[in-house]
Amino acid sequence: MRTIIYLILTFLSTLTYSQVIDWGNFDTKLIDSLVIKEANIFRNTYSDIPLNVSPILQERVSIRQTNILVSKQKAFHPNVYHIFEEIKDSLVRESETNNPGKKNPVGAMHLSEICLKTYRQDTKFTTYEELAQYLIKLWKSSRAHHNILLHWGTYGDGVYTLAGVSVQVGNYYWGGDTHTGIYASLHICSTYLK
């Protein structure tokens, strides 16, 4: 019976991951979770320190940053450090709550951000899983983004790494035509616990 339930759950999760993208009703929660999954598969080649989803980092930083990218129709790094300063204590509490018995005595944290803008390419991705893999591939193709994705929050004793991601679609205009743009930002915050 346990084997049957496991097979059913595996089949259902495979169906969810391979769900065809509905561009008119883009599922941001699904794509965000798949990007973290794919990032952790990549990070696992170097370190056993995964990215742990932080609702605080995602809601307060990643979604905000990607909203700005969509509104400006370009990839860049809007200033985020004033918001990071506002939520540092909440991130420390979140890290400590997820690691009972450990504390971040000095508030040591380091934040990094990677962003991108690409466009809808039906020949390269049609499912959310393929899109997540494509976004990670784009970040890996940039040396700076590659290093952040692979190494950020993997050094030191007692490191616990929080992450927030936001992938959104929005139009952009180029060559007199309207195109479907895909905008993404990933934030990685390393905390140190004893």
pTM for the predicted model, two decimal places: 0.89
Output the average pLDDT for the chain: 91
Q: For residue 121, what are its two tokens? A: 């390419």
* Mean local confidence (pLDDT), 68-77: 97
Question: In the prediction, which pLDDT does 30 show?
Answer: 97
Question: In the prediction, which pLDDT does 2 show?
Answer: 52
Provide the residue ranges of all domains of the chain, joining segments of one domain with +.
2-192
CA 135 to each of CA 107, 118, 165: distance values in angstroms, whole numbers, following the listed order: 32, 9, 12
- Tens digit of each residue's pLDDT (9 = 90 or more) over 140-155: 999 999 999 999 999 8
Check residue 11 and report its DSSP letter: H
For domain 2-192, give the fold: Pathogenesis-related Protein p14a (3.40.33)
- Tens digit of each residue's pLDDT (9 = 90 or more) over 147-182: 999 999 998 888 999 999 999 999 999 899 999 999
